[in-house]
Amino acid sequence: MDRLNTLDFELPRYLAPFETRRLPTYRFDVLVVGSGVAGCSAALAAAAAGSSVAILAKDELIETNTHYAQGGVAAVLAPEDSFEAHVADTLEVGCGLCDADAVDRIVRGGPAAIERLIEAGVSFDRRADGDLDLSREGGHSHHRIVHSGGAATGIEIQRGLAESVRTHRDIALFTSCFAIDLVSGANGRVIGVLAWTSRSELVLFSAAQVVLATGGGGQLFRETTNPAIATGDGVAMAFRAGATLRDMEFFQFHPTCLYIAGAARVLVSEIVRGAGGVLLDKNRVRFMPEYHPAAELAPRDVVSRACFRRMVETNDTSVYLDLSGLERDPHELFPHISRICQYFDIDIKRDPIPVRPGAHYMVGGIAVDADGRTSVAGLWAVGECSSSGLHGANRMGSNSLLEGLVCGARAGERAAADGKDFPLIPIDSRMRVERPRGSSDVRLGIQDMTYSLKSLMWRQMGIVRSGAAIADAQQKLEFWARAVDRLATPEPRTLELQNMLIIARLAAIGAMAREESRGTHFREDFPETRPAWRAHTLLAPRLEGDNIRAVTLSRERVRESVAVR
């Protein structure tokens, strides 16, 4: 491992003031923060292993990134497919930064994960002969995408998993419960979570093991497919608790989001391009064959940059996804997308759909081992908030739900086992944290600052980056972070903004350090891939008392056994 630099990074250990003796406390063996595919899988596995489990959901149980996932789950189920082929495809798309062992382990867990979903009552699309209807997406060499309702897979998976945890006698659910901070005990071990309930009161959750499954941070960007809850909370919480983060500069942009000025961005799944949809510019010229031999089925980073460049070249606000050439009726194939487009008088069988790229998936995250353990004792991470080694520098479509299912179940099982060796440690009843409570002289416009952050990240940390733009962004982000920390009143919207600023600053540090272009990270001042940076970017906080004073930036070389793109 190469230590590159140690940078000043002032940050409070805890964002909200509290006194433990004044707060109600709930006690469980395993606490899962997040209710998407990874969180529910972890909770069900931990409960099956005999642990008492609680799930903290930031919103309603079904309001997750999983719910909005359209494409499906990648799994090797067809006789002409193989685990080796799925592994090879994933390594290729990951641009040399995948962990080969992690990829192999997760890919081989795919068939059993699909079977568990079916047993939980999840309904997948099937062919006339009753077999699963498998589709293909960008980067995949075979048809291996299991889907439901065409492009409504996430809705069905979330429904089935939510029902499973809701009816499990050993799982307690706390909805509309915003996790603020991880609570540490002796030697930095995580022993609980401070949270804000739907009744606007602080509570403590004490647990032998805490599993973060909080999803990503798409709300950092002005254009995003992610729901409003995706503000990077879990990654920021883990960093404040001392956890090492990995590859924070990598953020995937989905190339096709429905673009109607003033309307919320809606993902138009890659499965649509897999069925034969083609991308056109405003002159109705198909352009993807100019950029990649696989055209519309090229990896997402390639398609996103191509869409971005064509928008700039044609001076248009979008490109267009044309489904008129599909062999089957697109209204029947994609009823969910058809219904949404109809609200805007778009007939997807006749009218090209206006689309543009949007932030979609946080590829980097909390560094974890094969079981989901972080660098902090008592703390685990799964799903999008983690960096498991599966995705490398660019996630392949439909591998994320696979990761959540396989890694979530493994982490839940191992956390329950560890809980037997490390029983519940009570939170110190004398613990007291002081924090500024805002200013009566200066009022911050949290909504305006949040929008400014999102716009800055889109312009300067988006699809195409440069050293000068990143450096300018860093200065602004640091200034905003100091202002919010000193002046804002601790409440959920402010705390979300603080988390977003932490993630944005760390992503900028990683992007500035990585002087090359690889996968989702593209720098116009360093457009080539450099062998020296076939390595992970590690960011480790330096804790001093109740504050973080610096972040150590390191480079960890990838093992030579991993395939290089």
Based on the domain organization, do 216 and 73 belong to the same domain? yes
Q: What pLDDT score was predicted for residue 564?
A: 40
Determine the 3-state secondary structure of 482 from DSSP. helix
The neighbouring-strand residues paired with 434 are none
Q: How many domains does the chain have?
A: 2
> Is 295 part of a structural domain of the chain?
yes
How are the residues of the chain apportioned to helix, strand and coil, as percentages rounded to the nearest 5? Answer: 35, 25, 40
Based on the domain organization, do 261 and 330 belong to the same domain? yes
Based on the domain organization, do 66 and 158 belong to the same domain? yes
Based on the domain organization, do 230 and 303 belong to the same domain? no
> Is 480 part of a structural domain of the chain?
no
Question: pLDDT digits over 134-172, tens only?
Answer: 998 888 999 999 999 877 899 999 999 999 999 999 999
Picking from 421, 446, 463, the residue at the C-terminal end of a domain is: 421
Picking from 375, 394, 421, the residue at the C-terminal end of a domain is: 421
Q: What pLDDT score was predicted for residue 442?
A: 66
> What's the residue count for the chain?
565
Q: What pLDDT score was predicted for residue 286?
A: 97
Q: What are the angstrom distances between the C-alpha of 31 and each of 26, 81, 205?
A: 10, 38, 8
> Is 64 part of a structural domain of the chain?
yes
Look up residue 463 and give its amino acid.
I
Q: Are 503 and 235 in contact (CB under 8 A)?
A: yes
Q: What pLDDT score was predicted for residue 429?
A: 85
Q: How far is CA 127 from the centre of its chain?
A: 31
> Is 354 part of a structural domain of the chain?
yes
Phi, psi of 151 (to 5 degrees): -125, 40
Provide the residue range defining the domain that includes 347.
Answer: 254-359
Q: How far is CA 35 from the centre of its chain?
A: 13
For 60, other C-beta atoms within 10 Å of its C-beta total 13
CATH value at residue 275: 3.90.700.10
CATH value at residue 93: 3.50.50.60
Q: What pLDDT score was predicted for residue 263?
A: 73
Q: What pLDDT score was predicted for residue 3?
A: 81
> Is 483 part of a structural domain of the chain?
no
From the list 226, 258, 224, the residue with the least C-alpha distance to 341 is: 258
From the list 403, 411, 413, the residue with the least C-alpha distance to 371 is: 411
Based on the domain organization, do 216 and 260 belong to the same domain? no
> Is 144 part of a structural domain of the chain?
yes
Q: What pLDDT score was predicted for residue 444?
A: 81
Q: What pLDDT score was predicted for residue 193?
A: 98
Determine the 3-state secondary structure of 173 from DSSP. strand
> Is 461 part of a structural domain of the chain?
no
Based on the domain organization, do 220 and 278 belong to the same domain? no
Based on the domain organization, do 234 and 277 belong to the same domain? no
Residue-by-residue pLDDT tens, the chain, 565 positions: 788 899 999 999 999 999 999 999 999 999 999 999 999 999 999 999 999 999 999 999 999 999 988 879 999 999 999 999 999 999 999 999 999 999 999 999 999 999 999 999 999 999 999 999 999 888 899 999 999 987 789 999 999 999 999 999 999 999 999 999 999 998 899 999 999 998 889 999 999 999 999 999 999 999 998 999 999 999 999 999 999 999 999 999 999 999 988 777 788 888 889 889 999 999 999 999 999 999 998 888 899 999 999 999 999 999 999 999 998 899 998 888 899 999 999 999 999 999 999 999 999 999 999 999 999 999 999 999 999 999 999 999 899 999 999 999 999 999 999 988 877 788 888 899 987 766 656 678 899 999 999 999 999 999 999 999 999 999 999 999 999 988 888 889 999 999 999 999 999 999 999 999 999 999 999 999 999 999 999 999 999 888 999 999 999 999 755 444 3
Based on the domain organization, do 168 and 269 belong to the same domain? no
Q: What pLDDT score was predicted for residue 461?
A: 97
Write the DSSP string, 44-107.
HHHHHTT--EEEE-SSSTT-STGGG--S-EE---STT--HHHHHHHHHHHTTT-S-HHHHHHHH
Q: What pLDDT score was predicted for residue 562?
A: 42
Contacts of 428 (CB under 8 A, 6+ apart): 20, 185
Block residue for tokens 């699909």: 114
- Could you give the CA distance from residue 308 to residue 286 in angstroms, rounded to a whole number? 14
In the DSSP assignment, the letter for residue 73 is E
Based on the domain organization, do 175 and 225 belong to the same domain? yes
CA angle 72, 73, 77 (to 5 degrees): 120
Picking from 359, 382, 404, the residue at the C-terminal end of a domain is: 359
Q: What pLDDT score was predicted for residue 266?
A: 82
Q: What are the angstrom distances between the C-alpha of 183 and each of 16, 142, 239, 243, 530?
A: 11, 45, 12, 13, 40
> Is 559 part of a structural domain of the chain?
no
Contacts of 539 (CB under 8 A, 6+ apart): 239, 244, 245, 246, 248, 506, 509, 510, 551, 552, 553, 554
Catalytic residue ranges:
300
Query: What's the chain's average pLDDT?
Result: 93
Based on the domain organization, do 206 and 297 belong to the same domain? no
Q: How far is CA 117 from the centre of its chain?
A: 21
Question: pLDDT digits over 226-235, tens only?
Answer: 999 999 999 9
Block residue for tokens 């992690």: 102
pTM: 0.93
Based on the domain organization, do 242 and 324 belong to the same domain? no
Determine the 3-state secondary structure of 182 from DSSP. strand
From the list 155, 318, 109, 122, the residue with the least C-alpha distance to 223 is: 318
Based on the domain organization, do 151 and 196 belong to the same domain? yes
The pair of structure tokens assigned to 62 is 């079904």
The pair of structure tokens assigned to 490 is 């601790």
For 523, other C-beta atoms within 10 Å of its C-beta total 21
